[in-house]
Chains A and B, each alone.
Chain A
Amino acid sequence: MISFQNLTAGYGSCHVLESISARAAAGEFIALIGPNGCGKSTLLKTLCGIITLSSGRITLNDKSLRELPLKMRARNIAYLAQSREALPTMQVEEVVRLGRAPFRGGLGKISAAGETAISSALSRTHSEPFKARRFDSLSGGEQARVLLARALAVGAPVLLADEPIAALDPFYQLSMMQTLKAEAASGKTVIAALHDLSLAAQFADQIWLMHQGTILANGTPNEVLDNENLKTVFGIKLPVGGFRPLELAP
């Protein structure tokens, strides 16, 4: 379980998040929704310690994040960045193996459990067929799946994913959302910044609707995604008949 109280954070003197609070329980899939620049990425970066908070408190299972040593924090919170950065010439499997960095000993040996986590992550993201290829030989969508596999390979109780399906085609969007949902169902906390309201409504247990650095609404998709909130945040209306779930073809 990860929670934060009165969180204020940003870049230098510019505060992006202003005194926000929320909690995400184990087993929950939370969709972080909001327009560009509302603070979704900043919140995820702050929660995993990339950005130092100006004030407030983040707790992981009721323990302050600040008190956790760097390696312990990395073992407990996995983060998928929005940018698709990796050494271009690196082999796909090597990229995914980096997810086990927080667990590696002196000589960099990966445990049997680690090897299992790596192959499971490759398979859950459908990245197995190209695991021996160079990272820069993949398409944007394939790279995005490999980096999601890298984040899944950590096997952390909390997964923070910044736009994990942005570059994917409809099949893989749906498929990766199912993967994230299954990850949450296995007892983990998943918080993903998303722009697809329909998929968020279909898969998320909770939605945190962000607006101008604050969490404007917080609850189940039905509670949050109403006409009033959508108009305030995005200037749009709920589609007639509501959001329709997508399904993979048999």
Chain B
Amino acid sequence: MKLIFLILGTAGAILLSVFFGAADLSAGRTLQALMGQGREIDITIVRELRLPRTLLGAIIGAGLGASGAALQGYTRNPLAAPGILGFTSCAALGAVIALYFGFHQAVPFAALLGTALGAFLILQIAGPRKGATTLILAGVGVGAFATAITGLIMNFAPNPWALSEIVYWLMGSLKNAELGGLIICAPLTALGIALLLAVGPDLRTLSLGEETATSLGVSLGKVRALLIAGTALCVGSGVAIAGAIGFIGLFVPHIMRLIFGPDPLKLIPLSALGGAGFLVLADIVTRAMAGPGTQLYLGILTSLIGVPFFLYLAVRETRT
């Protein structure tokens, strides 16, 4: 029953997102446009703007939710999330370097490259036989380094326009979502989620601790490599298209855990579903709150919701 609510909620958010926007289109006209009928402008708005934006939001949210659930399952640490373990910062650094040099078209690829390099670094530092704590430390360290370099680049931005472009991009938004982005993002995120789902059974066994899991046939090195590759694909492809969107990977798995229980194997697909619904809803809110000339950035909104939740978890952890 809970699962049906989650599916219906996510589907509802996706439908709402397609039917809601700045252009005043009735539900009937939107439906017609969705099927390629009616006025050309309506078809363009619905099929080339709203639909890719909605689908991208859902896919990016799904990737962030799934990778957060997998990272929390692996580290058995409630504060683990792709943003906190450095993946988002590395992707952002790649994109910022491309923006700094004015290679706007290369931003998605630079973000993916940044994540890949960051993931490689984290994997090297975490090593094949070291524990989950080393992975957390490696991720936090690499992420802090990427953030520092991003700051340095912004410090030396060639002009205020370049700087503002970087700043706005770092706030995360789906406003530039288009079919091209969907074509890059969807397969990479799907592959990433598939890798994370593949490690799901081993994450379940890891809930008994690394030593017992090893005795039950879990290869820690393989789990770590698949986990990092899967997370890098999900986060990298998401940041590549929409910029840095934080905290979804942190709190969506927690909410799912509260509702559906702690099984990491089930939490990965459930958090993907929840992440998709949440990001699409958050995007609807940013669109609803945007006034003429002003824009509420998606990453800002998700962080505003996520930070109090993060602090709540941190306080709860220190008390137990």
Partners in one complex: yes
B207 at the interface (CB under 8 A from A): yes
Question: A49, A83, A87, A91: which contacts B215 (Cβ < 8 A)?
Answer: A49
A48 at the interface (CB under 8 A from B): yes
Q: Are B215 and A98 in contact (CB under 8 A)?
A: no
**What is the interface residue range for chain B against chain A?**
20 to 34
Give min CB distance, B319 to chain A, whole Å: 14
Cβ–Cβ < 8 Å partners of B261 in chain A = 89, 91
Question: Across the two chains, which residue of chain A brings its CB closest to B222?
Answer: A70
Interface of A is mostly: mixed
A74 at the interface (CB under 8 A from B): yes
Cβ–Cβ < 8 Å partners of B209 in chain A = 81, 83, 85-86
Cβ–Cβ < 8 Å partners of A101 in chain B = 201, 204-205, 216-218
A108 at the interface (CB under 8 A from B): yes
Interface string of B197-228 (1 = CB under 8 A from A): 00001001101110110111111000000000
Listed residue (A85, A147, A150, A154) with the most chain B CB atoms within 10 angstroms of its CB: A85
Q: Are A85 and B216 in contact (CB under 8 A)?
A: no
Q: Are A95 and B215 in contact (CB under 8 A)?
A: no
Interface of B is mostly: loop
Which A126-173 residues sit within 8 Å CB-CB of chain B? 147, 150, 154
A90 to B205, CA, bound (A): 12
Which A44-97 residues sit within 8 Å CB-CB of chain B? 45, 48-50, 70-71, 73-75, 77-79, 81, 83, 85-87, 89-91, 94-95
A75 to B216, CA, bound (A): 8
Question: A90, A99, A154: which contacts B207 (Cβ < 8 A)?
Answer: A90
A78 to B216, CA, bound (A): 7
Question: B201, B215, B257: which contacts A50 (Cβ < 8 A)?
Answer: B215
Question: Across the two chains, which residue of chain B brings its CB closest to A86?
Answer: B208
Cβ–Cβ < 8 Å partners of A74 in chain B = 215-217
Listed residue (B207, B211, B212, B261) with the most chain A CB atoms within 10 angstroms of its CB: B212
Give min CB distance, B146 to chain A, whole Å: 31
A104 to B214, CA, bound (A): 15
A242 at the interface (CB under 8 A from B): no
Cβ–Cβ < 8 Å partners of B181 in chain A = none
Q: Are B211 and A98 in contact (CB under 8 A)?
A: no
Question: A73, A79, A89, A98: which contacts B205 (Cβ < 8 A)?
Answer: A98
A101 to B218, CA, bound (A): 9
Given A90-B262, A94-B263, CB of A50 within 8 Å of CB of B211 = yes
Q: Are A71 and B217 in contact (CB under 8 A)?
A: yes
Interface size on A, residues (CB 8 A): 31
Q: Are B216 and A99 in contact (CB under 8 A)?
A: yes
Q: Are A98 and B262 in contact (CB under 8 A)?
A: no
Q: Are A102 and B262 in contact (CB under 8 A)?
A: no
A85 to B263, CA, bound (A): 15
B232 at the interface (CB under 8 A from A): no
A186 to B208, CA, bound (A): 27
Give min CB distance, A36 to chain B, whole Å: 19
Question: Across the two chains, which residue of chain B brings its CB closest to A99?
Answer: B216
Q: Are B201 and A79 in contact (CB under 8 A)?
A: no
A108 to B265, CA, bound (A): 10
Give min CB distance, B157 to chain A, whole Å: 46
Q: Are A104 and B201 in contact (CB under 8 A)?
A: yes
Give min CB distance, A178 to chain B, whole Å: 24
B29 at the interface (CB under 8 A from A): no
Question: Across the two chains, which residue of chain B brings its CB closest to A74?
Answer: B217
- Which of A's residues lie within 8 Å of B, judged by CB? 45, 48-50, 70-71, 73-75, 77-79, 81, 83, 85-87, 89-91, 94-95, 98-99, 101-102, 104, 108, 147, 150, 154
| Interchain residue pairs with CB less than 8 A apart (10) | A81-B209, A81-B211, A83-B209, A90-B207, A90-B262, A91-B261, A98-B216, A101-B216, A101-B217, A104-B201
- Which of B's residues lie within 8 Å of A, judged by CB? 76, 201, 204-205, 207-209, 211-212, 214-219, 257, 261-263, 265
